[in-house]
Structure 1
Amino acid sequence: MTVLEISAGDTAWVLVSAAMVLLMTPGLAFFYGGMVRAKSVLNMLMMSITTMGIVGVLWVVVGYSMAFGDSIGGFLGNPLEFLFMAGVMDPELATFTVPAAVFAGFQAAFAIIAVALISGAVADRMKFSAWAVFAAVWALLVYFPAAHWVFSFDGGTAESGGFIANDIAAIDFAGGTAIHINAGAAALALALVLGPRLGFGRTPMRPHNLTLVMLGAGLLWFGWFGFNAGSALGANATAGVAWVNTLAGAAAAMLAWLAVERLRDGHATSLGAASGIVAGLVGITPAAHSVSPLGALIIGVLSGVACAFAIGLKTRLGYDDSLDVVGVHLVGGLVGTLAIGFLADPDSPAGVAGLLYGGGVDQLWRQALGAGAVLVYSFVVTLVIAKVLDVAMGLRVPEAAETQGIDTAEHAETGYDLSHVGYSTYGVRQTLIVPTPREDVQA
């Protein structure tokens, strides 16, 4: 960690951004919760919300140290260096121009939502206890190392950092690889081990509450300005560029997705609008500070179109990614990460030229190698974790529980108490109070 002069303005901005990113996980809970059937909504909400507790504790104990401690071979931060966040309270130690504790809190919110994203792939059928164990193990073995590879720069929080950030020099401003490709690859592996839902491909499994979906998408879009612009780690021009590009990417992707729906299906849907927003946000995340606003619009269109078509892959290939984590986060993350190799603008804060700006293929191969490393590592390790947990404790609820509804089976609750509907009120004493007319208004 480097001793620098702390900026009050930068500190305030990163604290606000951290709160915005943390709000994204409840937003994700609503987004996912509205997309499942009514009998699964509480379980979907619980998977996101409890992830805040599981990963929050792990981050304080060892996660921050594994991600941002002094590097062991470029692969992992020293788990003991900041164990229980030792030394992070020192007011003279700063990461860039914000206190170390502020940076640690900001990155904690990233870790939480990265794990929560995976839950959308296993909706309706995964044991809650199995999810809790999986979330903890996956954070320790997959997310914390990947965050070190991508976000830990030499001389930042420690003397040496991760190999993707420093040796490969791939650009990932706010987590296209470490978060979205990472979670998307893990979602695919976990869905393959779990198997499809009962009736997948035969029984309609429509979203039960599109109002919740739209609310969740709105919260995600709001929080994403903290996600991307906050990653500038300062109230500066880079944050401004990232903010504008985040707006442009999401807006263009939403319109592109709706256009695909209108041309392909004859209708532009609210679910499509919400999904398009998220696809654009995913796509622009790695490129937020390395492309121009025009580049952000192009990435948004590419992400919206690619993800709108990619969600159909699960039907053709036979894997059941319930809420399209693979189609949106893996595909959108790949589009945005690789697009940097073509669209990086030398006039942007990143100062790197992509292929279309005369930079050749130098940045493109770096982007491809960084994305591929995270994708392969996440998929393989997640597959192993899922197989081991399936043998050790079983990942899936019984068929009867899945048919009845996972909310009742796993939580003994339902999302909507409609027990009074259809019951007579006969026998319930009611008192009708008739007000006495005032004398001044009588005939």
Structure 2
Amino acid sequence: MDQGNTAFILIAAALVLLMTPGLAFFYGGLVKAKSVISMMMLSFGALGLIGVLWVLYGYAIAFPGAEGTLAPWAIDWSAVGLESLIEVPEGAAYPPLAFVAFQATFAIITVALVSGAIADRAKFGSWMIFAAIWATVVYFPVASWVFNFGLADDGSFAYGGWITHGLQEAFGVGAIDFAGGTAVHINAGAAALALALVLGKRQGFQKGAHVPHNPPFVLLGAGLLWFGWFGFNAGSELAADGTAALAFVNTLAAPAAALLAWLVVEKIKDKKPTSVGAASGAVAGLVAITPACGSLQPIWAILLGLIAGAVCALAIELKFKFGFDDSLDVVGIHLIGGLIGTLYLGFFANGTGLFLGGDGTQLLVQAIAAFSVLIYSFALAYGIGFVIDRTLGFRIKDEDEIAGIDKVIHGEAGYVLADR
């Protein structure tokens, strides 16, 4: 067993886990002061819930092994509860449980991302029910489509999944998704759009009506996300090697360029570059580089960041144009950014991109992967959310939203300015 690579994976897993509290700060700063506890609790609720479900059965669905590689839905019953994965196979590069831990953090952050679309108006209990069902029938299977590493004879993981291995068999080249542009960002963004439509608009929804109450929280959250994202992207190589180093550099370059591009768009459009814009631009670049970080030269990563930052800065206006209340721009940043990063590989992926030695096949399979996940996630998220809304109720009362969701749902206030 390679102790260096084992340590690398475990440290990367810890970094990715930090992203969920980072997301809580990022989202918490964007909402009004009376909603900050509720908003952050949606992330922490996902952390607790998905962490348990992953151990119980999530990993068994997401990684059903070599026999389930090309199946859209399969489960490795021997992996339920993870008992069969405690032993380290002879000759394995690292313990199977190190990989289990790493992938668990992906499942947690993906579910937490969805919550940004329902800020200020969602019941906590209904959110937890949605999160459990959506993770079970959407995230876990989609993770299998993209990642599903089957155990090889030497105990290492062989790459699989119908989106990667299956498309490669059909078209001669598989879709590239190094760290989760489809499984994480398009998946979460599509579900966020569905929930925004199910819950409807916040009270007084219009441009400029809801402003971030704490931009320093937003910057802190973005910083924690960026820090954790090095584990997210570089760690996906599962080895401390040259590809991990390339992913690390690209995870620096693309968000930096996206940050600058977002600020330029803000300056042109609104005359003022903002701190929230800088944070949002960095996250947009991180989203876009996620699927591409191991397959781009750094110069093309910068171009990707510039495109993602500029396009996402404009895409967040779509909710006002089309009338859906994606509260914290999960659609404009994660869905659009994920699509940009995934499709960009069809043009600039090393060796197979249309402009770098390939033909249009890479672009075709990237589009198949992206839109398959988008449609699947949106349809099921809308159905799950609709049923919960019509039975248990998903949205709080209008008067409670106006009074402040933190006190109503959690009995707490985010800021207590005087002793009682």
TM-score normalised according to structure 2 size: 0.95
Q: Where does 1:28-427 land on structure 2 (aligned, <5 Å)?
A: 28-70=23-65, 71=68, 74-92=71-89, 97-153=93-149, 155=151, 161-168=160-167, 169-201=174-206, 204-346=209-351, 353-420=352-419
Call closer, same or farther: CA 1:98–1:160 in 2, change over 3 Å. Answer: closer
Using the TM superposition, give the Cα deviation of residue 86 of structure 1 relative to its aligned residue in structure 2, in angstroms: 2.5
The amino acid that maps onto 1:149 is W
Q: Separation in 2 of the partners of 1:107 and 1:12?
A: 15
Q: Which runs of 4 or more aligned residues in structure 1 lie more than 6 Å from their structure 2 counterparts after TM superposition? A: 157-160
Tell me if the contact between 1:354 and 1:363 (Cα under 8 Å) persists in the aligned partners. yes
Using the TM superposition, give the Cα deviation of residue 345 of structure 1 relative to its aligned residue in structure 2, in angstroms: 1.5
Q: Separation in 2 of the partners of 1:358 and 1:303?
A: 23
Q: Separation in 2 of the partners of 1:34 and 1:400?
A: 23
Call closer, same or farther: CA 1:72–1:389 in 2, change over 3 Å. Answer: farther
TM-score normalised according to structure 1 size: 0.90
Q: Separation in 2 of the partners of 1:72 and 1:251?
A: 36
Tell me if the contact between 1:134 and 1:386 (Cα under 8 Å) persists in the aligned partners. yes
Structure number with higher helix proportion = 2
Q: Separation in 2 of the partners of 1:331 and 1:311?
A: 9
Tell me if the contact between 1:193 and 1:386 (Cα under 8 Å) persists in the aligned partners. yes
Tell which deviates more after alignment, 156-165 or 138-147: 156-165
Call closer, same or farther: CA 1:45–1:66 in 2, change over 3 Å. Answer: same
Gaps of 5+ in 1: 1-5, 347-352, 424-443
Q: Separation in 2 of the partners of 1:12 and 1:322?
A: 38
The amino acid that maps onto 1:167 is G
Q: Separation in 1 of the partners of 2:347 and 2:70?
A: 30
Using the TM superposition, give the Cα deviation of residue 81 of structure 1 relative to its aligned residue in structure 2, in angstroms: 2.8
Q: Separation in 2 of the partners of 1:232 and 1:158?
A: 11
The amino acid that maps onto 2:357 is G
Tell me if the contact between 1:66 and 1:77 (Cα under 8 Å) persists in the aligned partners. yes
The amino acid that maps onto 2:122 is M
The amino acid that maps onto 2:78 is E
The amino acid that maps onto 1:415 is G
Tell me if the contact between 2:70 and 2:166 (Cα under 8 Å) persists in the aligned partners. no
Task: State, as a whole percentage, how many aligned pairs show the same letter.
Answer: 54
SS at match of 1:87: helix
Over aligned residues, Cα RMSD in angstroms? Answer: 1.6
* Map of 2:170 onto structure 1: none
The amino acid that maps onto 1:34 is G
Q: Separation in 1 of the partners of 2:85 and 2:150?
A: 18
Call closer, same or farther: CA 1:158–1:226 in 2, change over 3 Å. Answer: closer
The amino acid that maps onto 1:329 is H
Q: Separation in 1 of the partners of 2:87 and 2:401?
A: 50
Q: Separation in 2 of the partners of 1:266 and 1:284?
A: 28
Q: Separation in 1 of the partners of 2:162 and 2:106?
A: 20
Tell which deviates more after alignment, 24-33 or 257-266: 257-266
Tell which deviates more after alignment, 156-165 or 229-238: 156-165
* Map of 1:8 onto structure 2: 3
